A and B are shown apart, each in its own frame.
Chain A
Amino acid sequence: AQSVTQLGSHVSVSEGALVLLRCNYSSSVPPYLFWYVQYPNQGLQLLLKYTSAATLVKGINGFEAEFKKSETSFHLTKPSAHMSDAAEYFCAVSVMDSSYKLIFGSGTRLLVRP
């Protein structure tokens, strides 16, 4: 069965600093991987996805993530944080052998200090 672990329930960075949100997955077959963002009182919005094409994936709002099979990781990064990036971020995995059941991590709340 697949699973997702997000390290750090809260991450705090200064405006302009590097953002790094960590995600590790467990899957016995090649996965699809996703990052979603949720702003306060809003639904989930897709940031980016990995579907076995390029291992470095670029998403919206300047975010990117790199699929590393050897480390079973899919960490999310952004070179320079903006105040508007403050939100909750969720990593998710789905695999073909379980009818594409979509499993989420517990989320990381990003705080951006002025």
Chain B
Amino acid sequence: DVKVTQSSRYLVKRTGEKVFLECVQDMDHENMFWYRQDPGLGLRLIYFSYDVKMKEKGDIPEGYSVSREKKERFSLILESASTNQTSMYLCASSLLGGANPEAFFGQGTRLTVV
């Protein structure tokens, strides 16, 4: 089975802290994604990466950065956490197209910024 693992299920951080959310996948997928999920807004794409060291902005990249130094790992960085970044963060991975292009998701990290 494909496994996407997020490093933490719950995190509480203080305003202004630098926050790292880690995601690892074990299926050699090219694509990796970071989303935030908020009630009524669905999943909004923050960043995605289709290859090592490559990154593309999603719909809401402001206040975030990412790092992909290895194919299996994709990190989301909140440079200076703010209370409006309190949310559920979901990581996903997928192949680049083909017959099985669906994304597989981690269990999510619920981040609270106080």
Beta-carbon contact of B56 and A99 below 8 Å? yes
Contact B50 A99 (CB under 8 A): yes
Contact for B48 among A32, A90, A96, A101, CB less than 8 A = A101
A105 to B40, CA, bound (A): 10
- Inter-chain CA distance A34–B99, complex, in Å, is 13
Separation of A42 and B107 alpha carbons in the complex (Å): 7
Give residues of chain A (15-61) contacting chain B, Cβ–Cβ below 8 Å.
Answer: 32, 34, 42-44, 46, 49, 51
B35 interface hit (Cβ, 8 Å)? yes
Kindly list chain A residues whose C-beta atoms are within 8 Å of the C-beta of B41.
Answer: 106
Our pick among A42, A92, A101 for the contact of B58 (Cβ within 8 Å) is A101
**A99→B45 contact, CB < 8 A:** no
Is A96 in contact with B42, judged by CB distance below 8 angstroms? no
Tell me which residues across on chain B come within 8 A of A102, comparing CB atoms. 31, 33, 45, 48, 92, 94, 103
Binary flags per residue of B15-52, CB closer than 8 Å to A gives 1, else 0: 00000000000000001010100001111110010100
Q: How many A-B residue pairs have CB under 8 A?
A: 65
- Any chain A CB within 8 A of the CB of B96? yes
A74 to B101, CA, bound (A): 17
Is there contact, CB below 8 Å, between B42 and A106?
yes
Residues of B within 8 A of A43 (CB): 90, 105-108
B42-A100 in contact (CB<8A) = no
In this assembly, does A94 line the interface, its C-beta being within 8 Å of a C-beta of chain B? yes
User: What A residues does B102 contact at CB under 8 A?
Assistant: 34, 46, 49
User: How would residues 75 to 111 of chain B score, 1 for a CB under 8 Å from any chain A CB and 0 otherwise?
Assistant: 0000000000000001010101101011111111000
Closest 7 pairs (CB-CB, A-B): A106-B42, A104-B43, A99-B50, A44-B105, A107-B42, A43-B105, A43-B107
